Structure 1
Amino acid sequence: MIPAAFDYKAPTTVEEALSAMAEAGDDGKVIAGGQSLLPVMRMRMNAPEVLIDLGKVSSLRGISDEGDSIRIGAMTTYQSVLDDASVKEHLVLLHKVVETIADPQIRHRGTLGGSVAHADPAGDVGAATLALEATMVIAGSGGEREVPASEFFKGLFDTAVDEGELLVALRFPKHTGWGAHYEKFVRVAHQWAIVAVAATVKADGGTISEARVAFTNMGDRPLRATSVEQALAGASATEDAVRQACASAADGTSPPSDLNGDADYRRSIAPVLTRRAVLAAAEA
């Protein structure tokens, strides 16, 4: 189908984008890579009167090393993340998550910030931001503010980005030397994850000293598996020890039921996927 008619604006700075958003109000919609918005516009499930394209705001692109952290502009494409040497060295989990997303065509168009701001619980990037304890940088008329990933996701397609605000960057603390793995369970290639587990582990001499684990599609938002992390701290990186630590992985989750599997099915496979992810991360 063809989208409904709309006015088009292409600001070149964050300030111009915020101004255009304020002027459009509820009738406006911001577009980043367009991989989520354009399909629903074509189906006329969303029909904004004004489309504000961030593609010409160069300050929203790029990856920079800030010493203890890596800052990634919200309009940075997935492919740019994959190609960046600092991400490969210091944010292995993010690299492994992004390389599972769709296909090369999507990865060259889709953006890291666009995915996070869309806040689809089946989207892959959210779990990585939680496990890596990222901070979201949000701009508004009063300047910038920072929100930790643990407080950013509010619910289904709902985030801490308020009306009139814009996600401009993501800042990730470096996890240099940590092993990582993303265990993504799908029925067919390039499908949204039925369930996925993002794990990054710091291991020494066969013992896990620290672990960070997060789920994709186990609730109305990405979820941090803090009980699993606590159980893994000090555990041996053996299959039996990790299985025991991951046994309660699904506790406290509220996964959806759909054509790919009901909630009970997702709960049943979550501990298995978590064990696989942690073991692979510990061996990396």
Structure 2
Amino acid sequence: MLSNMCSLILFFICTGGILGVNGYEVKSVSVMEGDSVTLHTNVTKIKRRDQILWMFGPQETRIAEIYKKSIDMYNSNETFGDRLNLDNQTGSLTITNISITNSGLYKLQIFSNKETLYKRFNVTVYAHLPIPVISSQSSSSLSSSSKCVVLCSVLNVTDVSLSWYKGNSLLSSINVSDLNIRLSLSLEIEYQDTNTYRCVLNNTITNQTQHLNISDICLDSVPLYSYWKRVMPSLVYALVGVASVALLVFYVRSEQKAKAKISL
């Protein structure tokens, strides 16, 4: 009988530990840097003797608490400044102008007369994405003289996907979770290709797109075309100037001949 009772007590202790510490649901929340996010308690209205405690990070540092309708803010100057707000009716936590350093695990404990509730929020803050840059590779690296190799590149990005699309069809993609260097993805196309291509950088919240202009990017990598593209404007201006001077000389001489005839 005693052994059965001990087994039962041990079962409840283990079960309670799993549900109270490791077993409750973790809600994932994604937000852009600079935006505001609210972590909801799902409490309709706090009772006077209810206690709501918010903690942040692996050390479970207390950041905000409501007890007997009194609100206390902890650690606000170090991590969050004055960017934390507690709803005095529901206990929901709002973080304004959120920063990358505010990413992490937020823990909520709700103590009432009837029960104790636990919640977790895994908040991921994403930086604003840069616009990808498209450039051509050196002609010496081309596998064929009729083809152009272009690179789509971005700098200092994390938790993103970089992809090439032909119209709406995905051609290639690369994913990175922790990277703070140059990220590039190449694409090989024909010089005379008339399809539309775009490079897309995205995370779970937003994306940035750069469209490929084949004539500007690829043909510029052909030395002869690039040379004539640089020289042609000057050549046109020179021809226009010569033509203008010739017309002016012709006009002056015509005027002189007309005056000579009149004087005779």
| TM-score normalized by the length of structure 1 | 0.22
Larger radius of gyration: 2
Please state which structure has a larger fraction of its residues in strand. Answer: 2
Q: Which has the higher helix share?
A: 1
Q: TM-score, normalization: structure 2?
A: 0.23
